[in-house]
């Protein structure tokens, strides 16, 4: 391994790596401290270090939660906006879009967001390595199952010029790049968890589940004789009925209440070392592992062990009217679509439409290399203004909720909780497109049952660490592009999906720079509920420094890729750690929640009770649909805007939520 030192804290001063130097300058040779550019001179997508919920984005929110920041009257701006949207993610941007569409393009809309970039979880990370522009999603990954998008989610895509057919056509060659180079999915067995260390290709057969394994995987896996036989049995197309004696309905009921790891151990009777292979099953979807995922979900998602149960097929239409992929509850329909920067492309298209002076780019293809002038996002007099790094502290009607004509919003810099920094803006209507769990603190006058409902779902913590590398020869030599490593610090190590968008071209040669995504979730097995695991995981994530992440990234990539010639000190150009302590929206889980919440559209679900309009305030976010998917955010935006405009047109409609019964 090279003696080259790790990327220093100087390189990441104020969260900005030396990526901002000239394209040809090496990332590891930072300029002097005085010459290092500050955050204002670097576009947010190119800022490295800790991103996602970055330092300066949440300190005031935590002070509000802890009671150490008491909102005051604040300095009154004097302006009254037709709509204030709290949250500049996809749901908030879509709410502004629908409001202009229905209420009129000349109406004034102010969007507030506590981060220094728009898009919410749909963030974009950029790197320039040896003259090559690279981009990857810093959060929301893809448009999942677009064929199942509802009317209003599809309307947003159509309105902003998304053409998935053209995009897929233009990326036909890129889509098969890694296959043509002999690169497949692989599984990393480390010596600490298994008998010996090995990187074993999975070679999933065509048409098999994404979670499957090829026929030679068992022979190459470093397992004992019994474990190898158990794994072969588990992967066989025809295997025993591990729940014999039960009817189909009884089997499904049992699987809905049984964690997948216990099903494998107690019902399928496989060796503990085989159970460890699936320890992180579902983690990329639910932010918890197999100990907190119902076995019924595992069956629906295509994990092995169920072929002998005779459960039949999940109907394609089951829960099809609920937004999101509904993993674990219905069969997925259609393939997903991933832009190079994930759904940041959608956020950029929405901003280009809402604030056209912020960029010259307009079309889908132009978003690949589009530059945005962040100084023009919040211009006086513009129909839509996006005010970043600003937190809404307290939101209250200017009078009784059923009679008030305006709503006051107290705001402060997101990282500065000092009372003198608080200002007041007013709006005729408000859409809360932020996290549900923050709303009870922002709107203290909400009815207690609604506050309880909003607080029920705990978002799942997750980290996307994006690592720019100077070449990807090691991946090519090892024949792997996507590596599962459930016993390591990061459970997945993936080369960026080969995808191009306009002038942003996918690296086509292993000698070219590329980006590696490492994913870490924070399941904490042994705690009573999934919500408890999320809370504990969030605390762990917030307590982790960038230095720790960097050390773990370097060590893990060296360990796995070193046999292919990788040298972490030589080959890593820059690191961006997207920290999402409040990541995926909470989805209901039949191990811990009532089955009717999981498998039906029950109005008693907390998400339904919590999202009820309150006077001139409506709620739009993915949490309100109990789904982390993009269509959930877009559909919720439409619902919230229509709720507000309906009450404007028909003021005799009661603005109170329904009763809570949980």
Which pLDDT value is given to residue 656? Answer: 58
Query: Domains of the chain by range and CATH?
Result: 59-118+377-455+602-649 (3.50.50.60)
Please state the residue numbers annotated as binding site for FAD: 91
Which pLDDT value is given to residue 5? Answer: 36
Helix 151-159 and helix 344-354: axis angle, to 10°?
A: 70
Q: How confident is the model at residue 319 (pLDDT cuts 50, 70, 90)?
A: confident
Global pTM? 0.92
Residue 1 has pLDDT above 70, yes or no: no
DSSP characters over 110-130: EEE-SSSSSBTT--EEEEEET
Q: How confident is the model at residue 237 (pLDDT cuts 50, 70, 90)?
A: confident
Task: Give Dmax (Cα) for the chain.
Answer: 76
The 10s digit of each residue's pLDDT in 161-186 is: 999 999 999 999 999 999 999 999 99
Residue 473 has pLDDT above 80, yes or no: yes
Which pLDDT value is given to residue 20? Answer: 31
Residue 476 has pLDDT above 80, yes or no: yes
SS (H, E, C) 31-42: CCHHHCCCHHHC
- Identify the top-confidence range among 10-24, 33-47, 87-101: 87-101
Return mean pLDDT, the chain: 90
Asked whether the beta carbons of 586 and 626 are under 8 A apart, the reply is yes
- Pairing between strand 430-432 and 492-495? unpaired
Q: Kindly state the average pLDDT of the residues 452-467.
A: 98
The 10s digit of each residue's pLDDT in 111-168 is: 999 999 999 999 999 999 999 999 999 999 999 989 889 999 999 999 999 999 999 9
The 10s digit of each residue's pLDDT in 555-601 is: 999 999 999 999 999 999 999 999 999 999 999 999 999 999 999 88
- Residues for the chain: how many in total? 662
Q: How confident is the model at residue 662 (pLDDT cuts 50, 70, 90)?
A: low
Helix 344-354 and helix 90-103: axis angle, to 10°?
A: 30
- Run of H or E residues at 413: strand 407-413
Give the position of tokens 């159509």.
158
Rounded CA separation 283/261 (Å): 13
Please state the residue numbers annotated as binding site: 91
Rounded CA separation 236/601 (Å): 36
Residue 3 has pLDDT above 90, yes or no: no
């Amino acid at each position: 391994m090279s003696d080259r030192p790790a990327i220093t804290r100087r390189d990441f001063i104020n969260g900005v790596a030396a990526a901002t130097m000239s394209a040809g300058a090496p990332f590891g040779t930072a300029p002097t401290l005085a010459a290092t550019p500050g955050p204002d001179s670097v576009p947010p997508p190119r800022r490295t270090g800790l991103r996602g919920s970055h330092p300066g984005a949440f300190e005031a929110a935590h002070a509000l939660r802890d009671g150490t920041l008491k909102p005051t009257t604040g300095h009154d701006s004097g302006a009254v906006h037709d709509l204030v949207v709290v949250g500049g993610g996809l749901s908030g941007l879509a709410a502004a879009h629908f409001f202009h569409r229905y209420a009129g393009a000349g109406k004034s809309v102010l969007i507030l967001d506590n981060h220094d970039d728009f898009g919410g979880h749909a963030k974009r990370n950029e790197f320039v390595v040896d003259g090559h522009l690279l981009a990857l999603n810093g959060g929301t990954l893809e448009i999942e199952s677009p064929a199942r998008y509802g009317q209003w989610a599809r309307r947003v895509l159509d309105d902003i010029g998304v053409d998935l057919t053209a995009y897929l056509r233009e990326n036909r060659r890129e889509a098969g790049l890694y296959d043509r180079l002999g690169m497949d999915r692989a599984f990393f067995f480390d010596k600490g968890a298994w008998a010996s260390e090995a990187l074993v290709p999975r070679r999933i057969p065509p048409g098999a589940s994404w979670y499957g394994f090829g026929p030679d995987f068992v022979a190459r896996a470093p397992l004992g004789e019994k474990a190898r036989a158990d794994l072969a049995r588990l992967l066989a197309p025809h295997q025993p009925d591990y729940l014999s004696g039960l009817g189909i309905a009884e089997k499904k009921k049992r699987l809905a209440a049984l964690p997948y790891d216990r099903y494998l151990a107690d019902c399928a009777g496989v060796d503990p070392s085989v159970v460890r292979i699936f320890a992180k099953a579902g983690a990329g979807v639910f932010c918890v592992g197999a100990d907190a995922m119902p076995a019924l979900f595992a069956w629906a998602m295509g994990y092995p062990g169920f072929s002998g149960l005779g459960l039949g097929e999940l109907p394609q239409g089951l829960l099809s009217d609920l937004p999101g992929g509904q993993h674990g509850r219905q069969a997925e329909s259609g393939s997903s679509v991933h832009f190079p920067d994930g759904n940041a492309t959608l956020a950029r298209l929405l901003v280009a439409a809402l604030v056209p002076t912020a960029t010259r780019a307009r079309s889908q293809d132009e978003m690949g290399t589009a530059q945005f002038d962040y100084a023009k996002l919040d211009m006086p007099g513009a129909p839509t203004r996006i005010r970043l790094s600003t937190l809404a502290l307290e939101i209250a009607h200017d009078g009784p909720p059923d009679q008030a004509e305006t709503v006051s919003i107290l705001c402060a810099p997101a990282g500065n909780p000092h009372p003198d920094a608080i200002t007041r803006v007013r709006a005729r209507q408000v859409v809360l497109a932020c996290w549900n769990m923050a709303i009870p603190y922002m709107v203290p006058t909400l009815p207690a049952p609604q506050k309880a409902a909003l607080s029920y779902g705990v978002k799942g913590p997750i980290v996307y660490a994006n690592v720019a590398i100077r070449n990807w020869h090691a991946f090519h030599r090892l024949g792997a592009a996507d590596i599962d490593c459930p016993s390591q610090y990061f459970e997945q190590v993936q080369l960026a999906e080969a995808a191009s968008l306009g002038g942003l071209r996918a690296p086509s040669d292993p000698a070219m720079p590329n980006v590696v995504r490492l994913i870490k979730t924070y399941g904490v097995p042994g705690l009573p509920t999934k919500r408890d695991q999320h809370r504990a995981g969030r605390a762990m994530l917030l307590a982790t420094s960038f230095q720790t992440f960097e050390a773990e990234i370097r060590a893990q990539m060296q360990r796995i890729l070193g046999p292919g010639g990788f040298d972490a000190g030589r080959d890593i150009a820059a690191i961006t750690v997207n920290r999402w302590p409040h990541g995926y929206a909470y989805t209901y889980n039949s191990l811990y929640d009532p089955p009717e919440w999981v498998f039906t559209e029950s109005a008693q679900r907390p998400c339904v009770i919590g999202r009820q309009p309150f006077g001139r305030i409506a709620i739009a976010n993915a949490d309100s649909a109990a789904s982390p998917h993009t269509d959930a955010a877009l559909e919720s935006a439409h619902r919230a805007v229509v709720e507000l405009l309906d009450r404007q047109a028909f003021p005799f409609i009661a603005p109170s939520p329904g009763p809570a019964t949980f």
